[in-house]
Structure 1
Amino acid sequence: MSFLQLFILSIVQGFAELLPVSSSAHVIMAEKLMGLDPTSPELTMLLVMLHTGTMFAVIVYFWTSWRATYFSSATALRSNVLLLAAATAMTGIVGFGLLKGITHIMRKDTPGFEIEHLFGNAQLMAAALAAAGILIIASSRLKARDGGTLSLVKAMVIGAVQGLCLPLRGFSRSGATISTGIAMGVPQRSAEEFSFALAVVLTPAVLLKEGWRFYQAMANGSLDHLQHGNSMLHLLGPSLLGMLLSFLAGLLALRWLSHWLERGRWHFFGGYCLLASLVVLYLG
């Protein structure tokens, strides 16, 4: 992989991961346009590092506001931990249930099928992008319906919606969760903070899963060309650089997202998702 390809993937991941436009769809299409295989273990490893960079960007960006709300008192901490735990549990139930169900069904017709095989399907990504765009636009029309706060039930609904995003590349996690919160009357800032707090809770599990897939690829000989120490260092160096670039891009993306939420421009992201779905469908 050239430096230019690494730079493009890092910037695309950094912006698209934190904006409600689906990083997976953008990164996969960018890889395809550059002639890279989005299902290869090497690119999986790079994506793990890029996700790590954006996770640190989220922590740095929201730390001050989280400290003022989530850690303001012992009572607030217990309440918010309960909300995050309930939402994450729902994500696990819905998300991993879907992953197992899809894998079980597909393996009947395609022995050896893995969920990663769907990641490059342009039709599925286009449909998921369109669904995310419609949800974002709809939520922007419903945001003034209720002035409520984030309750346990609402947190669980948001967690369930996040679970739907796990197997559906193109169905933006941040777009879906923030939109769901806004549609249920959660204040925009609270919906944004909760969505990205969920991301920080969920990301380590996703990183471990992808890291395990990379390890298995090495164990079964798929990465024999990387077994030598120099080859591994050759892979690690660009990955660390990519993590730094995605971190910086992520900080800029979060500033953009917050600005548009505050200015009532949330629906613009929905319009972009609809347009992007057509582009993905055409390029795919």
Structure 2
Amino acid sequence: MTLLQIVVLAVVQGITEFLPISSSAHLILTPVFGDWPDQGLGFDLAVHLGTLVAVVAYFRRDLWQLGGDGLASVVQRRHVGESRLAWLLVLGTIPVGLAGLLFADFIEGELRSVTVITVTTILFGLLLGFSDVFGRRARGLASIGLRDALIVGGAQALALIPGTSRSGITMTAGLMIGLDREAAARFSFLLAVPVTVLASAHKLLQLAGSGEPVQWGAFLLGGVLAAITAFLCIHYFLRWLNRFGLLPYVVYRLALGGILIALFW
């Protein structure tokens, strides 16, 4: 990989992982537009680990409390502090874990195409806009219950399809069940931690089984750049969310879908 490829792909991953515009789609499309060879499993693993570091660092206080209270609830056999939210995050992760086990090979083999990305980019962009305009936006993070976690978690499983966007579909589901923008975004970002751990573990197993050599320079640089970019992206997304809403991301998705139709259909 060239230095330009490393920088561009790492920054693209860092920006798109937590914005509702699909990181998987952009990591597939960027080499297509740049006429670059596939970046390989090792680099994909590096940038996923980078974004994991970013979200853990940004929500470190929340995660520390959630983890501590969750463990305390097991020992004391009752809810302790934020343990209820901790277990809801575990519950919300189960659907995507099961879907990954059942359909990962099919998705990676059959659905990583520009056609699929075009359809999902437009379709789920429209759904995001609909939920932002018509959602009641009346509930906070503390109001999330078992049903809500299953709905958002079930929606998250769809994000295995390139172009859907994990953050986009989970925020869409959150808004549709009445969460306000900040609650939907925070629940989505907290859900990103266990999901990214699972995704990184899956890619690590793939890499170990492939025998593909790791370019350690690209691995380290890509991971660091993705982490820095993703951290800044989370910060400014949450800061500007209530001011600008989700319309800019809907417009971007529709514009990208239109460009893909014009170029490839």
Q: Same fold (TM over 0.5)?
A: yes
2:208 to 212, 215, 236: 215
Q: Does 1:164 align with 2:158?
A: yes
How big is the shift at 1:259?
A: 2.6
Measured after TM superposition, the shift of residue 116 of structure 1 is 2.3
2:252 matches 1:259: no
The amino acid that maps onto 1:246 is A
| Residue 283 of structure 1: how far off its partner (Å) | 3.9
CA shift in 2, pair 1:145/1:209, >3 Å: closer
Query: TM-score normalized by structure 1?
Result: 0.81
1:126 aligns with 2:126: no
Consecutive unaligned residues in structure 2, runs of 5 or more = 73-79
Letter in 2 for 1:192: A
Structure 1 unaligned spans of 5+: 104-114, 227-231
Query: Within 5 A, what are the aligned runs for 1:1-284?
Result: 1-38=1-38, 43-66=40-63, 75-99=80-104, 103=106, 115-118=107-110, 120-144=112-136, 146-147=138-139, 149-166=143-160, 168-218=161-211, 223=212, 226=213, 232=214, 235-284=215-264
Percentage of matched positions with identical amino acids: 28
Deviation at 1:271, TM superposition (A): 1.6
Partners of 1:160 and 1:95 lie apart in 2 by 12
**TM-score, structure 2 length as denominator?**
0.87
Amino acid at match of 2:229: A
Do 2:137 and 2:179's aligned partners in 1 also have CA atoms closer than 8 Å?
A: no
Q: Which residue of 2 aligns with 1:108?
A: none
Contact 2:92 2:150 in 1 (8 A): yes
Are 1:70 and 1:76, in contact at CA under 8 Å, matched by a contact in 2?
no
Cα offset for 1:13?
0.7
The alpha carbon displacement at 1:60 in A equals 1.4
Q: Pick which of 256-265 and 142-151 moved more.
A: 142-151
Q: Deviations over 1:79-128 (max 9, x none)?
A: 0122012111122234444446xx3xxxxxxxxxxx42335410001111
SS at structure 2 position matched to 1:171: coil
Provide the rounded CA distance (Å) in 2 between the counterparts of 1:59 and 1:189: 18
Q: Alignment partner of 2:82: what SS?
A: helix
Question: CA separation in 2, counterparts of 1:72 and 1:86?
Answer: 16
Q: Mean Cα displacement is larger for which, 168-177 or 197-206?
A: 197-206
State the SS of the aligned residue for 1:19: coil
| Other-structure match for 1:106 | none
What secondary structure sits across from 2:162 in the alignment? coil
Report the number of matched residues.
Answer: 254
Cα deviation, residue 144, structure 1: 2.6
RMSD: 2.3
| CA–CA distance in structure 2, aligned partners of residues 15 and 66 of structure 1 | 22
Question: What is the CA distance between 1:264 and its match in structure 2?
Answer: 4.2
Tell me the secondary structure at the aligned position of residue 11 of structure 2.
Answer: helix
